[in-house]
Amino acid sequence: MTTGDALDQSLPQNIHTINGKVLRLNIDGSIPSDNPFSGNLVWSYGHRNPQGLVMANNSLYASEHGPDTEDELNIIEKGRNYGWPEVKGPCNGSEVDFCTTNNVREPIWSSGNSTLAVCGIDYYSSNLISEWKNSLLMMTLKNSSIRQMKLSDDGRSIVRVQNFFKDQWGRLRDLCISPDGKVYLCTSNGGNNDVLVEISKL
């Protein structure tokens, strides 16, 4: 599961708190014996506000809100530091020393000088919508779209990004993919303005 920093930037770098973390626990809530920090739920740390998680290609992918820049797509690795609040997006400029000293794992994609308010993600492997095969599909609130993140063959990098259905249904919160390849997404518009959408072709 993911946790945000709860507006306290002192917490994500502290492995003894659960804020700003990806947590790993057993189904009964207990702590797995092979977690990276003994007796601790923390799997990775240094996160601002991760919102989506999906396991695919033997990798755990996470979408994460940046503050006013640098939304991120990360591959989550055991015990790794993801930099927040010292680092936004990729390591550059004055951030490089912190990244080197603290073994920071850089994102495989970031939004640069803007934010999209990235949310739920899922992995698409079906032939039904062939254009989306081997892609992460990421919902955005601010940009109100599905962001297709086409993966490399090994799943470790993004080779192409495309935008679909911008502003058609409002703020897009989450999605799921059926066994036959249909995509179901839900909105986050508030009040009685939310819808559930089925997508089976582009």
At residue 143, the pLDDT reads 87
Q: Is residue 99 domain-shared with residue 155, that is, in the same domain?
A: no
Residue 169 lies in domain: 116-202
Q: Average of pLDDT values for 93-114?
A: 97
At 165-183, the pLDDT tens digits run 999 999 999 999 999 999 9
Q: Is residue 122 domain-shared with residue 178, that is, in the same domain?
A: yes
Q: Is residue 110 domain-shared with residue 35, that is, in the same domain?
A: yes
Q: Is residue 87 domain-shared with residue 106, that is, in the same domain?
A: yes
Q: Is residue 169 domain-shared with residue 125, that is, in the same domain?
A: yes
Q: Average of pLDDT values for 6-13?
A: 97
Q: Is residue 70 domain-shared with residue 100, that is, in the same domain?
A: yes
Q: Is residue 148 domain-shared with residue 185, that is, in the same domain?
A: yes
The DSSP-derived string for the chain is -EE--TT-TTSTT-TTS-TTEEE---TTSPPPTTSSSTT--EEEE--S-EEEEEEETTEEEEEE--SSS--EEEEE-TT-B--TTT--SS--GGGHHHHHHTTBPPPSEE--SS---EEEEEEE--STTGGGTTEEEEEETTTTEEEEEEEPTTSSSEEEEEEESTTSSS-EEEEEE-TTS-EEEEE---TT---EEEES--
At 31-83, the pLDDT tens digits run 999 999 999 999 999 999 999 999 999 999 999 999 999 999 999 999 999 99
pLDDT category of residue 149 using cuts at 50, 70 and 90: very high
Q: Is the pLDDT of residue 191 over 90?
A: no
Q: Is residue 82 domain-shared with residue 167, that is, in the same domain?
A: no
At residue 187, the pLDDT reads 96
Q: Is residue 56 domain-shared with residue 139, that is, in the same domain?
A: no
Q: Average of pLDDT values for 139-149?
A: 96
Query: Please, what is the average pLDDT of the chain?
Result: 97
